[in-house]
Amino acid sequence: MTVDPPLLQVQALGKHFPVRGGFFRRITGWLKAVDDVSFEVKRGETFGLVGESGCGKSTLGRAILRLHEPTAGRVILDGTDITALDRSRLTAARRHMQIIFQDPYASLSPRRTVLQTLLEPMEIHRIGTPRSRREKVLELLDIVGMGPQVLHRYPHEFSGGQRQRIGIARALTLDPKFIVADEAVSALDVSVQSQVLNLIGRLQRELGISFLFISHDLAVVQHISHQVGVMYLGRLVEIAPAADLYRDPMHPYTRALLSAIPVPDPKRRRKRILLQGEVPSPLDPPSGCPFRTRCPEAMPICAERRPLLRPIHDGEAPHQVACHLH
Ligand code: SF4
């Protein structure tokens, strides 16, 4: 039996920012926003990436697309090493990987109509004829549930949910294989959130697009994700198939995040785990396990040795955790 290779392979990816100080602005340290992160996304699947704000998940999404230049590691998309491409080949490869932002209002030009916004990527990449581009725009609007009457309207004339649909349509213009959705529903009302989540789920199923779906909210990624990765201080601390992670979270940080999600069934309700203290500064992370200063189950070894991300059991999509308890 042949196994389909993953669409995206992220291998030991790092993004470190220099910290400068003193009169000569010399480098005095490094902020490891993303450190030694590895995971895979299969074709037509969604990888949910969760963690508190500031944990490095947006930086990771941008480093994968090389919107931030990675400091270490490799990103392989459909067999192409994205991290090794020169500028012109990277521009050509960009059509296969797109991003949807949290705030569609900020990412859409206020002076461009919907038609101009959706035509632009095809014009830049010189795809199709004027007629076929316009047909594609109408097709994209139909996919995201909008009609031709919006073509000549400007972003300020739409609601937040409608603007996000336009942002999604723009991400689809070049038929990408992979999309990073960065907090794509966080700014929307709950009812609009579920409509946009349903739309993303439908795109993934019907168009076979793979998503990296980034959110600070574990409840949001639950139903849309095949795999979920939990990030803390720039590193992945747990990766598992979504059903496994929500049924049997292994890392104390994941357990704490999950305990905050309201469960309607009183018999299944989890005891709320309140995390103590603030997230430590990534400029000066704790020794050993980066979560130890907030972990209710910390042991002496946790201050001495950093736990590595290891599979708990074998399988095609193993449950992996970085914790000395396991
Ligand atoms: Fe807690 Fe130790 Fe596990 Fe870190 S390694 S999560 S401190 S028990």
For ligand 1, atom 8, the nearest C-alpha belongs to 298
Residues with CB under 6 A from ligand 1: 251-252, 289, 291-292, 295, 297-299, 302, 307, 323-325
Give the pLDDT confidence score for residue 236 in this predicted structure: 96
Residues 6+ away with beta carbon under 8 Å from 185:
164, 192, 193, 196, 197, 215, 220
Give the pLDDT confidence score for residue 281 in this predicted structure: 82
Interval between CA 47 and ligand 1 midpoint (Å):
24
Copy the structure tokens of residue 169. 């349509």
Reply yes or no on whether the pLDDT at 7 is more than 70.
yes
pLDDT in tens, 73-121: 999 999 999 999 999 999 888 889 999 888 766 778 889 999 999 999 9
d(CA 82, CA 76): 6
pLDDT in tens, 259-272: 877 666 666 666 77
pLDDT in tens, 123-174: 988 888 999 999 999 999 988 889 899 999 999 999 888 888 899 899 999 8
Give the pLDDT confidence score for residue 265 in this predicted structure: 65
Residue 146 backbone phi and psi in degrees, to 5: -125, 155
Interval between CA 288 and ligand 1 midpoint (Å):
9
What is the residue type of 68?
Answer: H
Interval between CA 293 and ligand 1 midpoint (Å):
9
For ligand 1, atom 3, the nearest C-alpha belongs to 323
Reply yes or no on whether the pLDDT at 1 is more than 60.
no
Q: What is the pTM of this model?
A: 0.90
Where residue 12 falls (left for φ over 0; alpha for ψ -120 to 50; beta otherwise) is left
Bridge partners of residue 210, in order along the sequence: 178
- List the chain domain ranges: 253-326
pLDDT in tens, 266-294: 666 667 777 777 778 888 888 999 999 99
pLDDT in tens, 181-204: 998 888 778 878 888 888 888 888
